[in-house]
Amino acid sequence: MSPATVNRNLTVLSQIFKHALSLRATRFNPVVGVKRPREEMPASFYFDAEDEKRLLAALPGWLHAPALLALDGGLRAGEIEALTRRDVDLRRGVVAVRRSKNKQPREVGLTGRLSAALTTHLKAVPKGAVVLFEHPDGRAFSANVYRSDWGRATKAAKIVGFRFHDLRHACGVRLAERGAPPAVIKAFLGHKTLDATLRYIRHAPRDAARTAAVFLEPDSSASVHGVPFVARHLFTRR
């Protein structure tokens, strides 16, 4: 097993024994004190503007808006799968994520192109539709449904090994590069802990030293009330 798999299994085992202790079904937790192997952060593919252009051009029409929700909104595939028509508020410029991995609902601001994509998509969604996104054959959006179309699109775009979930990673990296602080990225991506956010940001912001100096200037126009421009833009309700 990889170190990451070992650590995930140890976490699950620890929770099982903690519950067993609370039920007095065991006298100790054998996982306590077990040394966890070090996880080396794997080298990750950097998704740049040219890659994005090729991928979006290669995606089938039905998958375009879901991809932008992951790339510009940082949504997980499961969160996109759970969206309904009422979760999209174009007037306020937000998408409500009611079912998230950490059980904490949140609102995500819409970029201009994401708002445009959702506006176009909603015109074709029946008012009584149960789900927001469907494959042309009628199946609801899910990993099993989009996998084949996604594979063909990434192959056509010449982006090997790029997963749908990596769009969410790209969102976090771009926020970091453009000056959004970790706390803002954490809220935007819906992470429960800051550690999870830091694990997502696999690339240090470019020119980090100069970026930090700009934000430390008392009269810097790079931030407003302590919130970097890019984060303020993403959270603005139109």
pLDDT for the residue numbered 99 = 84
pLDDT for the residue numbered 201 = 62
74: left (phi over 0), alpha (psi -120 to 50) or beta: left
Q: Please check whether residue 94 is in contact with residue 107, taking contact to mean a CB–CB distance below 8 angstroms.
A: yes
In what helix (H) or strand (E) does residue 97 lie, and over which residues does it extend?
A: strand 94-97
Query: The tokens 């990296």 sit on which residue?
Result: 173
In this prediction, residue 132 has a pLDDT band, given cuts at 50, 70 and 90, of very high
d(CA 155, CA 146): 14
Q: What are the pLDDT digits (tens) for 18-47?
A: 999 999 999 999 999 899 988 765 555 678
Extract the tokens encoding 15: 């929770």
Q: What are the pLDDT digits (tens) for 70-115?
A: 999 999 999 999 999 999 999 999 999 988 777 888 999 999 999 9
Domain ranges of the chain: 1-40, 49-162, 168-235
- Model pTM score: 0.70
Q: What are the pLDDT digits (tens) for 138-187?
A: 999 999 999 999 999 999 999 988 999 999 988 988 888 887 888 888 88
Residue 191: pLDDT above 90?
no
Q: What are the pLDDT digits (tens) for 203-228?
A: 544 555 555 565 566 665 544 334 44
pLDDT for the residue numbered 226 = 41
- Measured CA to CA in angstroms, residue 90 lies from 33, 121, 177, 217 at distances of 51, 12, 27, 36
Residue range 49-162 in CATH 1.10.443.10: yes
pLDDT for the residue numbered 196 = 78
d(CA 164, CA 197): 18
Q: Please check whether residue 102 is in contact with residue 191, taking contact to mean a CB–CB distance below 8 angstroms.
A: yes
